[in-house]
Amino acid sequence: MSQPSRQIVILCEGDSEVYCVKRFLQPRWREKFGTSIVLKPINLYAKIKKIGKRTPMHLQDKRILAVFTLIDLYRAPIKCNQKSSLAEKVQQLKDHLRSLVSKEYHKTFHPCIAVHELEGWLLADKEALAQYLHYNKLPKWQEPEKINFQKPPSVRIKDLFQKHLKRRYGKGTDAAILFGKAGFERIYDKCPHFREFWDTLCKVAEHRTVRDTNR
């Protein structure tokens, strides 16, 4: 009898994050790891405090290798110090998320942050967004994760949808389609916080793969 697949749980802030995992991360993940280790997104429906209960519940399941989060820095569940640098704000939110989880689970709990919002990753692939909008003169966002709270990425995308498609941007429907079209390498190259998130996911899986090989 074949062994059940190992899983990495990703606790997602909402619909967009779930679609990001399903439409953007999972295809690339299957290319790299097949089905021996799978990514399992779980929607928190913006109830961030649930991380404290959900994390130990999942980690008590022997199939679960680790629990990650995918939470926006924008509208974070804490007030970050406005005088702090971007890196410090990200660390403040990570520390807060870690504080929700009992220390005995910290080694297998990885709080990861979308900076400033998940839509920042969509701005990293200007070509895919331009094709979807039927407009090829979009600005170049060289560092999309630095697009800040004054006009965060989702607001910029909403404005583009109203201007070029004459309709609202759907954080569920449109995000799902755009993440299905987005180029992995473009986002990986332009978004260091995404790169950290992906690389940490891979390290967890690779460590498990090595352990299984050496048995």
**What is the structure's pLDDT at 60?**
96
CB atoms closer than 10 angstroms to residue 184: 15
Amino acid at the residue 3: Q
Q: Hey, what are 129's tokens?
A: 């967004």
Task: pLDDT band for 212, please (50, 70, 90 cuts).
Answer: low
- Assess whether pLDDT exceeds 60 at residue 162: yes
**All domains of the chain, ordered by start, with CATH?**
6-117+192-213 (3.40.50), 119-181 (no CATH)
Classify strands 37-43 and 6-12 as parallel, antiparallel or unpaired: parallel
- Assess whether pLDDT exceeds 70 at residue 32: yes
Task: pLDDT band for 194, please (50, 70, 90 cuts).
Answer: very high
Mean pLDDT of 75-89: 87
Outline where DSSP puts E strands in 4-80.
Answer: 6-12, 37-43, 64-72
- Assess whether pLDDT exceeds 50 at residue 153: yes
pLDDT averaged over the chain? 93
Q: Give CA 74 to chain center in angstroms.
A: 13
Cβ-proximal residues to 145 (8 Å cutoff; 6+ apart), any chain? 86, 115, 116, 120, 190, 191, 192, 193, 194
DSSP 8-state secondary structure symbol assigned to residue 143:
S
pLDDT tens digits, 6-23:
999 999 999 999 999 999
DSSP-assigned letters across all residues of 70-127: EEESTT-SS---TTS-HHHHHHHHHHHHHHTS-GGGGGGEE--EESS-THHHHHT-HH
